[in-house]
């Protein structure tokens, strides 16, 4: 019989404990699927005495990642988290010791993926990271293997369940951002410091990884335009519904003549679009291939079970002897592609203003649009008493982002505009 695949796990938090639980529960099933057992032989974590709800009997305990990297075994699973520090030290040490590496760490891959991939592939090892993007959705495998016969033209998706939950609940209840975020924290959907999620950084890490897989380019996290959801008001969600849209925080990447456009920001998407129907904490990714067309992947993007499912899927590939390029093409052939700046985006926009209701206000606003060749499509103005503050909402036809930004700046300087204008990009997905 083929010897078992010996696995060392670093990090026994939610995902680590979930991975051990899955491996124990499906031990016999996985052995049949792999032709060999998947056996955890070593672990490392900060608190040795903590009850994690899984048995560690017969598993060697290591107090440092350096020790774990050199433990007897075939694969190291990194579930520590963070772009540097112990996670990066372990990744480098494990590969240097001739061990395959499996990780759920999107920050690590987004910042150091190409370096680690070159080391792994040069040594004939696997660097696997399915769990780093969209939890239980097999999107990395889908892009890299299922759609390998296609040229990928674009990808877009909901890559953060916390933000999707907040926006869904705000729309359904009319409550404001801070109130719903507090609820998400109480339910465990958001961290005590939620900035990583709500400011778009988590989504940007995942988008940078998916862009590399889709387009065969070096990961360039610094080139991702990032904007979070703190500025979304309940009023925006109401007007979006009236105009036939839903607001979602999306990651979008597209191969263009000048390079790759990568951006994370709130979008208004048509209510009929598949991505508009994805609610609550779910994630979804849409990939467009030149032969297959649009393909949609939806499911839970976080949590012990879904993430452990993705970790074990990578372990199964290694146990079966599977080898594919880490980022769709050999790491040695990956090259940097020029970033396409957000200012080059061409598309429609939604703008919300709070203005003093007096004669001439709309004329002043339209004059600002005219000065920058921005063409208005629709306008909504709610009646108030003259002299009171009133919201004015408009959508504009396709225009370059640079021109739209200049028009917004000019409008914001009008004395009758009481707050900074709020702009959301409309995506016809």
Beta strands in 26-160 (DSSP E): 38-44, 60-62, 75-78, 100-103, 127-128, 152-158
Written as six digits, the tokens of 416 are 């009758």
- State the DSSP string of 228-260: -STT--HHHHHHHHHHTEEEEEEEEEEEETTEE
Environment class of residue 118 by beta-carbon count within 10 Å: exposed (0-12), middle (13-18) or buried (19+)? Answer: middle
Alpha helices in 150-277 (DSSP H): 161-173, 177-186, 195-198, 201-215, 234-243
Strands 60-62 and 38-44: parallel
Query: 103, 130 in Cβ contact below 8 A?
Result: no
Query: 44, 78 in Cβ contact below 8 A?
Result: no
Query: 156, 253 in Cβ contact below 8 A?
Result: yes
Query: 156, 251 in Cβ contact below 8 A?
Result: yes
Q: CATH: 3.30.2130.10, 1.20.120.850, 3.30.70.260, 3.30.365.10. Which one for 345-426?
A: 3.30.70.260
Give the integer Cα–Cα distance in Å for 199 and 264. Answer: 10
Beta bridge partners, 393, equal: 352, 380
Establish whether 106 is a catalytic residue: no
Beta strands in 81-190 (DSSP E): 100-103, 127-128, 152-158
Per-10-residue mean pLDDT of the chain, 429 residues long, equals 92 95 97 96 91 91 95 95 95 98 97 97 97 95 96 97 96 96 91 93 97 94 97 96 97 92 98 96 96 96 93 97 93 92 97 91 95 96 75 96 97 95 95
pLDDT at 387: 65
Give the integer Cα–Cα distance in Å for 221 and 209. Answer: 8
Distance of CA 424 to the CA centre of its chain: 19
User: For residue 22, how many C-alpha atoms fall within 13 Å in the half-sphere facing its CB?
Assistant: 19
Q: Which of 141, 206, 248, 385 is catalytic?
A: 206
pLDDT at 382: 77
pLDDT at 242: 96
pLDDT at 1: 62
* Per CATH, domain 5-132 is 3.40.50.720: yes
Q: How do the domains of the chain map onto residue ranges?
A: 5-132, 139-300+332-342, 345-426
Give the integer Cα–Cα distance in Å for 372 and 90. Answer: 53
Range 139-300+332-342: architecture per CATH? 2-Layer Sandwich (3.30)
């Amino acid at each position: 019989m083929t010897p078992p695949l010996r696995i060392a796990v670093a990090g026994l938090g939610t995902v680590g404990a979930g991975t051990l639980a899955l491996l124990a529960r499906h031990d016999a099933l996985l052995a049949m699927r792999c032709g060999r057992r998947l056996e955890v032989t070593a672990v490392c974590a900060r608190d040795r005495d903590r009850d994690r709800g899984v048995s560690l009997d017969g598993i060697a305990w290591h107090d440092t990642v350096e020790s774990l990297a050199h433990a007897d075994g075939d694969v190291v699973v990194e579930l520590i988290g963070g772009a540097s520090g112990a996670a990066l030290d372990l990744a480098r040490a494990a590969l240097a010791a001739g061990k395959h590496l499996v990780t759920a760490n999107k920050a690590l891959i987004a910042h150091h993926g190409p370096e680690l991939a070159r080391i792994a592939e040069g040594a004939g090892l696997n660097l696997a990271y399915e769990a780093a993007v969209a939890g239980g959705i097999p999107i990395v495998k889908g892009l890299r293997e299922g759609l390998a016969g296609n040229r990928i033209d674009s990808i877009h998706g909901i890559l953060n369940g916390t933000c999707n939950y907040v926006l869904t609940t705000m729309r359904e209840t009319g409550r404001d951002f801070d109130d719903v975020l507090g609820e998400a924290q109480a339910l465990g959907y958001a961290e005590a410091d939620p900035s990583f999620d709500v400011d778009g950084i988590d989504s940007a890490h995942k988008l940078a990884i998916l862009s590399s897989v889709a387009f065969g380019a070096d990961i360039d996290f610094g080139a991702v335009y990032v904007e979070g959801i703190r500025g979304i008001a309940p009023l925006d969600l109401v007007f979006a519904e009236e105009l036939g849209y839903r607001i979602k925080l999306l990651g979008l990447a597209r191969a263009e003549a000048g390079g790759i456009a990568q951006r994370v920001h709130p979008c208004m998407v048509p209510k009929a679009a598949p991505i508009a129907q994805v609610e609550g904490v779910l994630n979804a990714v849409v990939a467009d291939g030149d032969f297959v067309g649009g393909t949609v992947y939806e499911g839970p993007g976080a949590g012990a079970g879904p993430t452990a499912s993705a970790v074990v899927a990578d372990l199964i590939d290694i146990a079966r002897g599977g080898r594919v390029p880490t980022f769709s093409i050999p790491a040695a052939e990956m090259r940097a592609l020029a970033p396409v700046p957000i200012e080059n985006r061409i598309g429609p926009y939604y703008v919300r203003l709070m203005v003093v209701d007096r004669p001439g206000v709309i004329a002043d606003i339209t004059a600002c649009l005219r000065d920058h060749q921005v063409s208005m499509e629709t306008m909504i103005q709610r009646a108030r008493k003259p002299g009171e503050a009133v919201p004015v909402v408009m959508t504009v036809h396709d225009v370059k982002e640079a021109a739209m930004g200049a028009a917004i700046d000019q409008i914001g300087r009008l004395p009758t505009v009481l707050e900074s204008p709020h702009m959301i990009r409309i995506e016809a997905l």
